[in-house]
């Protein structure tokens, strides 16, 4: 990898792009084999992997929206990371298509005989029906894609000829964009994850997914920055202060995730209504119990104490380990949301889980890398870039 520190461009992009593409294609081919061997397992594994990567892409969109909305300065040097990650959303829209063929296997409420004999599902059929489901999914992806494209377009324009116009546009897009983001993410998580168990409902569910989403985005950005810097890229632009800021946000979102997860659990535990508690009961059955405990400790307690002191947030080795750890935990979290619907009595890892994960992930990272390296790695036209580089947290 070669880096030109004058133009902030990579002159030699290294092999990351081709490696991820090959891994991605192999993963998708294996996933196809998986579909032929066990289509139901395939759809559930695919949904897990899809949601895992989608939440990271949406985290990128949120990062950019928030950045413009509050006029953040520290994050200007890492803004292109967020922008490149959110530009993967159109790919996720294409990768959503295979799920449409498995709706009957994934969602019980898609089957008319089941609905006919189920009073609760009949009551919900105004919202939970095939046509509306597809219309909503299209709407989500259109909104996310349009937001991402516009924000990215003006960002590239700013590189060419910076003017206050772009900053104005960033803000005009971001304010309603943030509201749209909140609504679409909430309903998307209701549609794709919560309706797996269509009797169950939790209004906090969308915020729960969002907290994990932004958290995992921070981990991905941290890992990419560390990897780039170990190859001598952006060594002067991104300093310990930026790691510290990333670490602080990560710590904050660990707590935020814990707060949401506990709030969801707490109210259901307190109310003790069977149709609500059943969801947790499923996740307390057999070996799911250990997965639940793993999430409590692995997704909250351990990262909380590790990221608590200042020194760990400024230490690259600790941040690397923590980022990978939290990403693994985020996957476990999504797995724990999806899989109990298929495997009732305990978790059952399948090779298709891995195949779909690396299949979608390979393409995701490949596209991210292509978009990211096609332009200067930092927004060179931003009037506050200098200030962002010199920031002291």
Partner 1 sequence: MNNNSIKTVGIMAQFSNPGELMKAAEKLRDSGYSKFDCHSPFPIHGMDKAMGLSSSSLGWVVGLAAIIGTTGALGLQWWTSTIDYPLVISGKPLFSFQAYVPITFAVGVLLSGVAALIGMLALNGLPRWNHPVFNSDKFEKVTDDAFFISIEAEDPKFHTDETIQFFESIGGTNCELLQENQ
Q: Cβ of residue 269: shortest distance to partner 1, in angstroms?
A: 5
The interface mask with partner 1, positions 270-299, x = CB under 8 A, is x-x---------------------------
Site map 224..263 versus partner 1, x via CB under 8 A:
--------------------------------------x-
CA 68 to chain centre: 20
CA-nearest of 18, 14, 25, 13 to 361 is: 25
- Residue 353 makes CB contacts below 8 A (sequence gap 6+) with 45, 48, 49, 335
Q: How far is the CB of 262 from partner 1 (least distance, A)?
A: 7
The answer to whether the CB of 146 falls within 8 A of the CB of 86 is no
| Residue number, 132 or 269, with CB nearest to partner 1 | 269
| Interface stretch with partner 1, choices 24-32, 174-182, 267-275, 346-354 (CB under 8 A) | 267-275
What is the DSSP secondary-structure string of 159-206?
Answer: HHS--HHHHHHHHHHHHHHHHHHHHHHHHHHHHHTGGGGTT---TTHH
Q: Which is nearer to partner 1, 187 or 265 (CB)?
A: 265
- Which of residues 127 and 280 has its CB atom nearest to partner 1 in the complex? 280
* Residue placing its CB nearer to partner 1 in the complex, 132 or 266: 266
Whether residue 159 contacts residue 83, with contact meaning beta carbons closer than 8 Å, is answered with no
Stretch that binds partner 1, among 16-24, 120-128, 153-161, 264-272 (CB under 8 A): 264-272
Candidate residues 127, 149, 187, 265; the one interacting with partner 1 per rule CB under 8 A: 265
The residues that bridge with 9 in the sheet, in sequence order, are 4
How near is the Cβ of 275 to partner 1 at its closest, in Å? 17
Could you say which residues in the range 364-393 bind partner 1, by CB under 8 A? Answer: 392
Q: Give the list of residues 6+ apart from residue 75 with CB closer than 8 angstroms, or none.
A: 63, 67, 82, 245, 388
Query: Which of 217, 254, 283, 255 is closest to 78 using CA atoms?
Result: 217
Q: Which stretch binds partner 1 (CB under 8 A): 105-113, 122-130, 166-174, 269-277?
A: 269-277
Tell me how far apart the alpha carbons of residues 2 and 232 are, in angstroms, rounded to a whole number: 8
Measured from the Cβ of residue 381, the count of other Cβ atoms closer than 10 Å reads 17
Is the distance from CB of 392 to CB of 74 less than 8 angstroms? no
User: How big is the site for partner 1, counted in residues (CB under 8 A)?
Assistant: 7
Site membership for partner 1, residue 305 (CB under 8 A): no
Name residues contacting partner 1, limited to 70-129 (CB under 8 A). Answer: none
List 101, 132, 269, 351, residue binding partner 1 (CB under 8 A): 269
**What Cα–Cα distance (Å) separates residue 22 from each residue in 18, 27, 136, 359?**
6, 8, 33, 9
Contacts with partner 1, residue ranges (CB under 8 A): 262, 265-266, 269-270, 272, 392
């Amino acid at each position: 990898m070669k880096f030109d520190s004058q133009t902030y461009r990579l002159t030699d992009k290294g092999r990351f792009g081709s490696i991820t593409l090959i891994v991605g294609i192999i993963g998708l081919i294996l996933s196809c084999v998986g579909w032929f061997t066990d289509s139901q397992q395939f759809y559930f594994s695919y949904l897990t992997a899809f949601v895992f990567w989608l939440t990271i892409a949406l985290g990128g969109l949120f990062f950019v929206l928030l950045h413009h909305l509050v006029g953040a300065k520290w994050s200007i040097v890492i803004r292109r990371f967020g922008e490149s990650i959110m530009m993967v959303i159109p790919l996720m829209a294409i990768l959503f298509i295979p799920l449409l063929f498995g709706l009957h296997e994934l969602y019980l409420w898609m089957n008319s005989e089941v609905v006919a004999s189920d009073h609760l599902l009949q009551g919900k059929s105004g919202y939970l029906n095939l046509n509306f489901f597809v219309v909503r999914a299209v709407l989500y992806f259109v909104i996310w894609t349009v937001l991402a494209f516009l924000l990215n377009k003006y960002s590239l324009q700013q590189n060419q000829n910076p003017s206050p116009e772009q900053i104005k546009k960033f803000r005009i897009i971001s304010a309603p964009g943030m509201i749209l983001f909140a609504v679409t993410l909430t309903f998307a998580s209701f549609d794709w994850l919560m309706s797996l168990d269509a009797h169950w409902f939790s209004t906090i569910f969308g915020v729960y997914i969002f907290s994990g989403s932004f958290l995992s985005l921070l981990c991905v950005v941290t890992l990419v920055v560390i990897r780039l810097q170990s190859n001598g890229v952006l060594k002067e632009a991104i300093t310990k202060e930026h790691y510290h800021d990333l670490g602080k946000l990560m710590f904050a979102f660990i707590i935020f995730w814990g707060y949401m997860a506990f709030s969801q659990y707490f109210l259901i535990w307190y109310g003790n209504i069977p149709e609500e508690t059943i969801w947790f009961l499923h996740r307390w059955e057999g070996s799911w119990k250990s997965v639940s405990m793993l999430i409590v400790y692995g997704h909250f307690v351990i990262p909380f104490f590790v990221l608590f002191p200042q020194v760990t947030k400024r230490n690259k080795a600790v941040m690397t380990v923590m980022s990978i750890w939290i990403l693994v935990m985020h996957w476990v979290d999504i797995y724990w949301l999806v899989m109990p619907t298929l495997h009732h009595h305990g978790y059952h890892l399948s090779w298709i889980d891995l195949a779909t994960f690396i299949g979608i992930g390979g393409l995701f990272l490949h596209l991210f890398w292509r978009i990211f390296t096609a332009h200067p790695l930092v927004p060179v036209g931003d009037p506050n870039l200098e200030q962002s580089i010199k920031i002291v947290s």
